């Protein structure tokens, strides 16, 4: 299986985050992709490929994200520095909690535009706000510090997904039999919405790749006006609120998510959320109780796969999170490595060209082996 990887994805390295009220080291660490890459390199089943630097990442990102949001990501850190935001030294506790450089600084929101605040028209031009106010406008939590290198890493992550999608569409026509390519993206993407970052995510890599596959569909050149049908299967522990929002009214993209019930991001992911307008019926959520283990997960996965088969997509994208692992430090499912092999085998029976896009997974010691188990399970299985 081809694996696409970009070294620039390692540059984003905030010194800390706030989790459960505690100042802790940043769980979405550069060690994550490094360990995955190291594990996959040890097997002859995988070949590591560089990303295509000629791809116009912003051109394709504009198919998913708003222009003002993309501008914010590019200018947030410089604007914050210009406002003097980097002059406050990090707190001493960072020395005890962060493996990163203590002098590294980052933009982090102080307030968010809540609907219960004083009634006033929504801010039409957030560009007129100060740097910290803009951070609250474009972010929904405290997990996305923006450092001097964040924008470069976010672009590298999206480029990774685009390069993998390019290879998929070039080598495997729509509706062709099972084949797989892995985009080793970092930062992850499924929490990033049209104009919001959060949950460690800045650009929605899977969504950008989905639009790329639609835009490069050969049938477009023959005069077809119908978009290629894409299915996104999200198997991260957390609900992909960003991906759901992006395609909520789009009948050409099916979004199916298995995730923890009543866990982060807390306010999305119920079964009642099924799409809107033309996209009604194209969102399927499968919230599962905390403590879900292999058998319960695989049973629900079969229901999700049946929904994808009924949709009959030309391509399948898998938002691959292994934070469902039994020892993951910030999640509460109980999947095992053997369970991940079963997950990969089950997905293979969709018998479609499949792009795996890396999302979450924070148990550094096992993340590579768990990803490998999913991908090898997929590769080994022969669809019936």
pLDDT digits (tens, 9 = 90+) for 209-243: 999 999 998 776 666 678 999 999 999 999 999 99
Of residues 185, 196, 311, 310, the one with CA closest to residue 253 = 311
Cα torsion through 230, 374, 364, 94, rounded to 10: 20
pLDDT at 101 over 50: no
Q: 121-160 pLDDT, tens per residue? A: 666 667 778 888 999 999 999 999 999 999 999 999 999 9
Q: Could you give the domains of the chain?
A: 2-65+149-380 (3.40.800.20), 67-138 (no CATH)
pLDDT at 99 over 50: no
Tokens representing residue 322 in the block: 């292994």
Distance set, CA 55 to CA 51, 157, 230, 259 (Å): 9, 12, 21, 32
Alpha-carbon gap, residue 268 to 191, rounded angstroms: 11
Alpha-carbon gap, residue 342 to 378, rounded angstroms: 8
Alpha-carbon gap, residue 28 to 122, rounded angstroms: 32
Q: 275-303 pLDDT, tens per residue? A: 999 999 999 999 999 999 999 999 999 99
| 3-state SS, residue 247 | helix
Contact (CB, 8 A) for 340 and 322: yes
List of residues 6+ apart from 228 with CB closer than 8 A = 174, 213, 214, 217, 219, 252, 314, 315
Note the helical H segments in 22-88: 31-41, 57-61, 67-82
Tokens representing residue 49 in the block: 């490929």
DSSP 221: G
Catalytic-role residue among 12, 191, 239, 284: 191
Alpha-carbon gap, residue 108 to 147, rounded angstroms: 9
Q: 22-57 pLDDT, tens per residue? A: 888 899 999 999 999 999 999 999 999 999 999 999
The reply to whether 191 belongs to the active site is yes
List of residues 6+ apart from 373 with CB closer than 8 A = 337, 338, 340, 341, 344
List of residues 6+ apart from 151 with CB closer than 8 A = 73, 74, 76, 77, 202
Alpha-carbon gap, residue 207 to 190, rounded angstroms: 8
């Amino acid at each position: 299986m081809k694996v696409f990887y970009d070294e620039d994805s390692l540059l984003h390295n905030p010194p800390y985050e706030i989790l459960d009220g505690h100042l802790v080291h940043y769980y979405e660490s550069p060690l994550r992709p490094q360990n995955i890459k190291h594990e996959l390199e040890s097997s002859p089943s995988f070949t590591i490929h560089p990303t295509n630097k000629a791809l116009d990442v912003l051109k394709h990102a504009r198919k998913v994200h708003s222009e003002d949001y993309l501008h914010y990501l590019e200018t947030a850190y410089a604007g914050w520095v210009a406002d003097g935001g980097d002059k406050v030294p990090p707190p001493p506790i960072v020395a005890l909690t962060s493996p990163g450089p203590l002098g590294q600084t980052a933009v982090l929101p102080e307030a968010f535009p809540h609907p219960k605040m004083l009634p006033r028209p929504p801010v039409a031009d957030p560009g007129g706000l100060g740097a910290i106010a803009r951070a609250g406008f474009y972010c929904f939590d405290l997990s996305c510090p923006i450092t001097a290198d964040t924008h470069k890493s976010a672009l590298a992550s999206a480029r990774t997904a685009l390069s993998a999608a390019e290879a998929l569409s070039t080598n495997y026509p729509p509706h062709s039999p099972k084949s797989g390519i892995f985009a080793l993206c970092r930062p992850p993407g499924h929490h990033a919405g049209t104009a919001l970052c959060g949950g460690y995510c800045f650009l929605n890599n899977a969504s950008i790749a989905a639009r790329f596959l639609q835009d490069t569909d050969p049938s477009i050149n023959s005069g077809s006006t119908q978009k290629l049908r894409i299915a996104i299967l999200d198997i991260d522990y957390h609900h992909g609120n960003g991906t759901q929002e992006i395609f909520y009214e789009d009948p050409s993209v099916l979004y199916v998510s298995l995730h923890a019930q009543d866990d982060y991001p807390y306010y999305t992911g119920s079964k009642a959320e099924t799409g809107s307008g033309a996209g009604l019926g194209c969102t399927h959520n499968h919230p599962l109780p905390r403590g879900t283990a292999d058998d319960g997960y695989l049973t629900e996965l079969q229901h999700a796969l049946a929904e994808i088969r009924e949709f009959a997509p030309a391509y399948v994208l898998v938002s691959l999170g292994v934070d469902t692992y039994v020892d993951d430090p910030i999640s509460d499912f109980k999947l095992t490595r053997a369970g991940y092999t079963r997950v990969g085998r089950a997905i293979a029976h969709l018998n479609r060209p499949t792009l795996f896009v890396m999302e979450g997974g924070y148990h550094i010691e096992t993340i590579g082996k768990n990803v490998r188990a999913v991908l090898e399970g997929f590769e080994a299985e022969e669809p019936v």
